[in-house]
Amino acid sequence: MNNCKSFKPSIDNNSTVLILGSMPGVKSSEKQQYYAHPQNRFWKVMGIICNEANLADFDYNLKLKILLKNNIALWDTIKSCKRKGSLDSDIKNETLNDIKKLLKDHPKIKTICLNGNKSYSAFKKYFPDLSDKYNCYKMPSTSPANAKYKLEDLCKIWSMITRDI
């Protein structure tokens, strides 16, 4: 089992949408970048949403700037855990990020999108009261492990966040 740690949030004072993943996978941890696995479709989906078709090919810092320009913040529900590999189903001994403080410090956020089942289940378990204060959406995971969804399907579902940007 590896000790896994979340990254700092990518957020600014104009952010209106917060996307919460569960915990960075092995490739993301190695690169210290959100959604760094080449088969993860997150950046392709965000490229469609942000009208930047080639976003997945951009420099990482530019990717984050484009999300922020579109009022989209990133973070993870889980602060630390033990896990072998990258699968969310293998997460053990999780501790949580202080999402309530982040939301208090960034009052323009109105929408929270939970990227995948683990992020959603941890959020619902530990922050049930936030569902009453924010538009909360369980989104299909962009992970390559979620082969159930084609890229086109993910883009169609995820594009609903544009009404909240």
Q: Does residue 32 sit in helix, strand or coil?
A: coil
Q: Does residue 111 sit in helix, strand or coil?
A: strand
Specify the range with the lowest mean pLDDT, choosing from 2-11, 59-68, 76-85, 102-111: 76-85
Query: What's residue 86's pLDDT?
Result: 84
Sign of CA dihedral 124, 140, 82, 64: negative
**Mind listing the pLDDT tens digit for each residue in 65-100?**
999 999 999 999 999 888 888 877 778 889 899 999
- Please pick, among 2, 13, 14, 40, the residue that the annotation labels catalytic: 40
Burial class (CB in 10 A: 0-12, 13-18, 19+), 72: buried
Of 79, 40, 43, 39, nearest in space to 58 by CA: 43
Domain count, the chain: 1
Predicted confidence band at 165 (pLDDT cuts at 50, 70, 90)? low
Sheet holding 17-21, edge to edge: 72-76, 17-21, 111-115, 135-139
Of 18, 13, 28, nearest in space to 123 by CA: 18
**Mind listing the pLDDT tens digit for each residue in 128-142?**
999 999 999 999 999
Contact 76, 6 (CB under 8 A): yes
Q: Which CATH number fits the domain that encloses residue 88?
A: 3.40.470.10
Query: What's residue 134's pLDDT?
Result: 96
Contact 54, 2 (CB under 8 A): no
124: containing domain: 2-164
Predicted confidence band at 164 (pLDDT cuts at 50, 70, 90)? low
pTM of the predicted model as reported, rounded to 2 decimal places:
0.94
- Percent of residues, the chain, with pLDDT higher than 70: 98
Contact 74, 66 (CB under 8 A): no
Distance from C-alpha of 114 to C-alpha of 93, rounded to nearest angstrom = 20
Active-site annotation holds for 2: no
Strand pairing partners for 73?
A: 18
Predicted confidence band at 26 (pLDDT cuts at 50, 70, 90)? confident
